[in-house]
């Protein structure tokens, strides 16, 4: 290969160009889009194979301010991952979105998303990262709102966008504080540590995209978008951006901020797993499980096991995208054969026989989610828990809560994964199905590929290996492995196993829960209801929004009824003042003038009358002369 820069540009811009071209030439829509992403993927793989050392490019963007991108193994690995899943999703969508009116618009937005995501992964400069970060948020907004004419969807898209925007504001503040501190923003040039404030702001920016507490409500809102979009954006790629950012800046972050990252990650992982346990909507279960798994990754970075988190990001991307695509197949299937809500698990059941390829994919991915040995999820979660254990032994005391909660979450995860699997696929169907249906190969081929990638063998021959093995296989030597905690793999296996078994016992087809499931109401007890509503986070946002709106109404009132009347008062005051002046002018100033004039006229008239009527001209003349003498003597 010649200059990699050309290839990198090619790689980044091709999906965007493909999306635009596809929009312009709708006849060749799918072909153009799939080829462009396919080419990009090929370039990414070639770059990854021929990788020797990190390359950086920078160019002057603002006066005395350079932007830079960096091509190293990590970014290339993730670029390949994004393009691979994007290609599968695009392929899947050729069937799934076939009858949609705006399919060209769909592919256009998808192309834009891929472009933005690749930019985000390759950016070395924090500001450039922020640029793509915002674009990714925009693409997500556009794709969630794809069915803009349906009720409730634009609102959900807005909530998702606004929550992200709040986080972005924190991130931008953090970045600018770093800029003030260091005068540069290239991650590879930065050294030392950020101040506590900027670290916290950056962390709270990253939490936004990765749907950590307190932002996590937006991800469940985002589920109203097309399901392939959920697979790509809200499971595999965009939501991982926050984790990726934390991964890149972790060595620079303030220690206390990292502690907070670990705590927030743990709490998010735990609460979201609990929420997933009580949902009826299949996509909501998957959304909460995504939040929970992202919590694991965040926790991993917080405790210093950042390579393990990255590995979990990788494995999770595959099995969660697989789960979402399988869910899309299920929804598509039910949409065609049943009149009921196609996403509600209460109307599912017994799908094992109906769509068996989807079942097998879902099973594999689900077991990876549950964290059972022989599947990828186990390997990566193991690494994070090991890291947490090492962190706990180092800090002692309360720090043990982190691995403990992590292990309990692992149990809950296996439990709800079993619940989902059993209620959807096993037992008898809980709805009336009309006619036969044949699974489309365009559905199960990509799903199966993702399912296969959740088997351990693709990462390392040893099913109990973890991230360090995987990364050293890739030639990334500096991946550290936190030693100690030999019990962890055993405990993790135990937890996942117990969770699965418990799940089977609870939710097996002849259990009371499964029998009554179709008529189960929304939980009414406070605790369960809060879990069902995801701790009512979205209500909290709505509440906040409402009060900000009310405050703005108040300000508008002040503007109209306070500032304006003051102005009017001023205006009216000056008019009144000028009226008063006009009166004064008329009576005080003009009055004496008129008096003199009238007096003169009166005198004149008298004199004229005297002379004309009575003929006393001499007397009149005498009077005039006397008056003149009087005036003369008075003045001189």
Partner 1 sequence: MQNLLSWIFLFPLAVAFALLLIPSAKKSLFRVVALITLGAQFILSIVLLIGFDSSLAPSSWKSAFQYVVKVDWINLSLASVGNFKIQYYIGVDGISVLLVALSSLVLFIGVLSSWNMKEKVKGYFFLYLLLSSSVVGCFIALDFFLFYLCFEFMLLPMFFLIGIWGGKRRSYASIKFFLYTLFGSLFILVVMIMLYMGVQEEGINTFSLAAMMDGNYLTDAVLNPESDGYFLGVPARSLAFLFLLVGFAIKLPAVPVHTWLPDAHVEAPTPISVVLAGLLLKVGGYGLFRILYGIFPDLTAKYSGLLAFFGVLSIIYGGLNALAQRDLKRMVAYSSVSHMGFVLLGLASITSAGIAGSLYHMISHGLISPALFLVVGVIYDRTHNRTMDCFSGLAGKMPVYTFLVALFFFAGMGLPTLSGFIGELMVLMGAFTSKVLAKWYGILAILGMIISAAYFIWTLQRVFFGKYFVRESAWEPHMKDLSPRELIMLIPLAVLVVLFGIFPTWILDFSNETIEFFMKHLSNSLS
Which residues form the interface with partner 1 (CB under 8 A)? 60-63, 65, 127, 130-132, 134-135, 138, 141, 145, 148-149, 151, 153-155, 157-158, 161-162, 165-166, 169, 172-173, 176-177, 179-180, 183, 545, 548-549, 551-553, 555-556, 559, 563-564, 567, 571
Token pair 């088997």: residue: 455
With beta carbons less than 8 A apart as the criterion, state whether 316 and 365 touch: no
Distance CA 267, CA 277 (A): 16
DSSP per position, 241-266: HHHHHHHHHGGGS-HHHHHHHHHHHH
Which residues neighbour 636 within 8 Å (Cβ) at sequence distance 6 or greater? Answer: none
With beta carbons less than 8 A apart as the criterion, state whether 69 and 123 touch: yes
For the chain, the first-to-last Cα distance in angstroms comes to 116
Nearer to partner 1, 166 or 233 (CB): 166
Beta carbon of residue 158, minimum distance to partner 1 (angstroms, whole number): 5
Distance CA 167, CA 206 (A): 7
Beta carbon of residue 190, minimum distance to partner 1 (angstroms, whole number): 16
Nearer to partner 1, 61 or 595 (CB): 61
Nearer to partner 1, 15 or 503 (CB): 15
Q: What is the 3-state secondary structure (H, E, C) of 91-107?
A: HHHHHHCCCCCCHHHHH
Nearer to partner 1, 551 or 602 (CB): 551
Beta carbon of residue 282, minimum distance to partner 1 (angstroms, whole number): 26
Cis peptide before 457 (omega within 30 of 0): no
Beta carbon of residue 111, minimum distance to partner 1 (angstroms, whole number): 15
Tokens, residue 500: 């699965």
Beta carbon of residue 3, minimum distance to partner 1 (angstroms, whole number): 22
SS3 304: coil
Nearer to partner 1, 551 or 587 (CB): 551
Backbone phi, psi, residue 100, to 5°: -75, 145
Beta carbon of residue 149, minimum distance to partner 1 (angstroms, whole number): 6
Nearer to partner 1, 180 or 394 (CB): 180
Beta carbon of residue 431, minimum distance to partner 1 (angstroms, whole number): 28
Q: What angle separates helix 282-302 from helix 376-395, to the nearest 10 degrees?
A: 40
Nearer to partner 1, 26 or 586 (CB): 26
Beta carbon of residue 236, minimum distance to partner 1 (angstroms, whole number): 23
Distance CA 390, CA 383 (A): 11
SS3 59: strand
Burial category of 502 from C-beta neighbours within 10 Å (exposed 0-12, middle 13-18, buried 19 and up): middle
CA-based nearest residue to 287, from 52, 533, 6 = 533
With beta carbons less than 8 A apart as the criterion, state whether 464 and 376 touch: no
Beta carbon of residue 148, minimum distance to partner 1 (angstroms, whole number): 4
Nearer to partner 1, 155 or 579 (CB): 155
Nearer to partner 1, 563 or 583 (CB): 563
């Amino acid at each position: 290969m010649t200059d990699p820069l050309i290839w990198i540009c090619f790689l980044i811009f091709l999906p965007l160009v493909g999306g635009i071209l596809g929009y312009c030439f709708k006849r060749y829509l799918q072909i153009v889009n799939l080829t462009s992403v396919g080419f990009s993927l090929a370039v990414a793989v070639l770059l990854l194979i021929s990788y020797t050392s990190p390359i950086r490019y920078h160019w002057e963007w603002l006066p005395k301010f350079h932007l830079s991108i960096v091509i190293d193994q990590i970014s290339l690995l993730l670029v390949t991952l994004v393009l691979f899943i994007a290609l599968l999703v695009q392929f899947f969508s050729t069937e799934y979105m076939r009858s949609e009116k705006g399919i060209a618009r769909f592919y256009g937005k998808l192309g834009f998303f891929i472009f933005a995501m690749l930019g985000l992964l390759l950016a070395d400069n924090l500001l450039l990262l922020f640029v793509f970060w915002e674009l990714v948020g925009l693409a997500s907004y556009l794709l969630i709102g794809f069915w803009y004419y349906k009720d409730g969807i634009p609102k959900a898209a807005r909530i998702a966008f606004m929550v992200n925007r709040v986080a972005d504001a924190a991130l931008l503040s953090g970045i600018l504080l770093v800029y003030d501190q260091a005068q540069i923003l290239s991650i590879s040039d930065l050294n030392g540590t950020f101040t506590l404030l900027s670290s916290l702001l950056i962390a709270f920016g990253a939490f936004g995209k990765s749907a950590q507490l307190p932002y996590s409500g937006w991800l469940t809102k985002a589920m109203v978008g097309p399901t392939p979009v959920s697979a790509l954006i809200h499971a595999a790629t965009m939501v991982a951006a926050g984790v990726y950012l934390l991964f890149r800046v972790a060595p620079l972050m303030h220690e206390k901020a990292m502690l907070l990252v670990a705590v927030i990650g743990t709490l998010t992982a735990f609460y979201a797993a609990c929420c997933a346990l009580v949902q009826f909507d299949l996509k909501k279960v998957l959304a909460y499980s995504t939040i929970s798994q992202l919590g694991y990754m965040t926790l991993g970075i917080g405790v210093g096991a950042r390579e393990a988190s990255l590995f979990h990001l990788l494995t999770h991307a595959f099995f969660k995208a697989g789960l979402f695509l399988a869910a899309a197949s299920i929804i598509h299937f039910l949409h065609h054969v049943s009149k009921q809500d196609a996403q509600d698990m209460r109307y599912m059941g017994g799908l094992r026989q109906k769509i068996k390829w989807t079942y097998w994919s879902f099973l594999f991915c689900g077991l990876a989610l549950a964290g059972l040995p022989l599947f990828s999820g186990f390997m990566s979660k193991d690494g994070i828990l090991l890291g947490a254990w090492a962190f706990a032994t180092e800090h002692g005391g309360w720090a043990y809560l982190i691995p403990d909660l992590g292990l309990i979450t692992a149990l809950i995860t296996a439990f709800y994964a079993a619940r989902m699997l059993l209620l959807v696929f096993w037992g008898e169907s809980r709805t009336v199905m009309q006619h036969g249906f044949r699974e489309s190969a365009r559905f199960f081929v990509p799903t199966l590929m993702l399912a296969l990638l959740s088997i351990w063998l693709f990462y390392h021959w040893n099913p109990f290996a973890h991230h360090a093995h995987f990364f050293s296989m890739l030639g990334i030597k500096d991946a550290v492995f936190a030693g100690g905690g030999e019990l962890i793999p055993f405990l993790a296996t135990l937890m996942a196993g117990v969770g699965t078994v418990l799940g089977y016992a609870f939710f097996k087809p002849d259990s009371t829960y499964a029998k009554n499931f179709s008529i189960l109401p929304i939980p009414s007890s406070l605790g369960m209801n809060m879990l069902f509503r995801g701790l009512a986070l979205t209500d909290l946002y709505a509440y906040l929004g409402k009060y900000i709106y009310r405050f703005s109404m108040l300000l508008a009132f002040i503007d109209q009824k306070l500032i304006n009347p003051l102005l009017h008062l001023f205006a009216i005051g000056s008019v009144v003042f000028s009226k008063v002046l006009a009166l004064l002018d008329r009576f005080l100033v003009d009055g004496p003038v008129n008096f003199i004039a009238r007096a003169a006229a009166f005198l004149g008239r008298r004199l004229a009358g005297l002379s004309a009527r009575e003929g006393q001209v001499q007397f009149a003349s005498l009077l005039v002369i006397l008056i003149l003498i009087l005036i003369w003597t008075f003045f001189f």
